[in-house]
Structure 1
Amino acid sequence: MVTIKVEGMAQAMQAFTGIELALKTGLTNASNELLERVDAEVVNNLGNVKYGSGEINRYNHKSTDDSDGTIQGRYWNDSDVGMYREFGTGPVGEAHHAGISPEVHPVYTQTRWFIPVDQVDVDLEAVYGIPKITLGDKEFFMTRGQPARPWMYPAFQTVSKDAEGIVERSVNQALKGLQ
């Protein structure tokens, strides 16, 4: 029987643990930086809108999670208006949805929308050319939808160009802390 003695095994195991923690730290930092950049781009994209208050941006959210060793950054907007703006609505949105993510395949309603004039704080006819009609004694804006006006996906595309460099820098910086 042969006996092998390995010296410094505890130190080696500590080093591996340190590397794992440094990688997680670097990846988490990179994810957070990327999400901050996406947020800045998203806000900028909506800031360039002719008629808009930026209200939609109050519903932007971001998080970085470590689940089973996978670092994942998430960015989303939970405003209904944001979704309509990003993907468009109705037959018009279905026909004009350039610039949305190729990973998303919306289903568009084909019926007209009747929006009560008294429930909207902007003149949709003046802003978007949506005609105003009267049914009975009530006024409505009638639309067959709006084209997509993507503002989030273009932000992801812009930031993704720098993602590899940001991840590399953040991980290298975290690993340097081990020395």
Structure 2
Amino acid sequence: MSLRRILTVDKPADLQVLKQVCAPVAAIDEDVKTLAADMLETMYDAPGIGLAAIQIGDLRRVVVMDVGDGEPDDASEDAEPARNPMVFVNPEILWASDELSTYEEGCLSIPDYFDEVKRPARVRVAWLDLYGQRQEREADGLFATCIQHEIDHLNGVLFIDHLSRLRRDRAMTKVKKVMRAKEAA
């Protein structure tokens, strides 16, 4: 496993990649499994709860997530939830509720910027696991928000694309400023 560089919207070449539509994975082989392992390591290191392959410059339809569904490793109040890594190959939304929910979203490709986004409150998602088995799950809450966010990435859509033009422009300005400060430090 190895850490990969996460593409960010402040770099024009990165943004050009992030706006592309990813290709389906034809076969789940060792290369795809290595990609998923690298993505999980990169996501945890960032730290984040979801990562699409395109965010590390790989244009295949692969997503990793960990929304912390696991129980804490010990009973103490500040215990971290147990890791519950999930890998989604060729994920697709089969159904979305008419009911909407609003979550404050962030993105590893849009560092240090968070904003509220309305999305369907519940979705049914299908994907292949790393054994090539088709899986389906109905999701709500953080899981539903996160999987929609990551599938958007696979389709060249960023969460800020769901915002008004004014809020999207503010986000880009803030991210560029933050990234310049980080590079100068």
Pairwise TM-score range, normalised by the shorter structure: under 0.3
| TM-score, normalised relative to structure 1 | 0.25
Structure with bigger RCO (C-alpha 8 Å, 6+ apart):
1
Greater per-residue strand proportion: 2
Q: Which of the pair is proportionally richer in helix?
A: 1
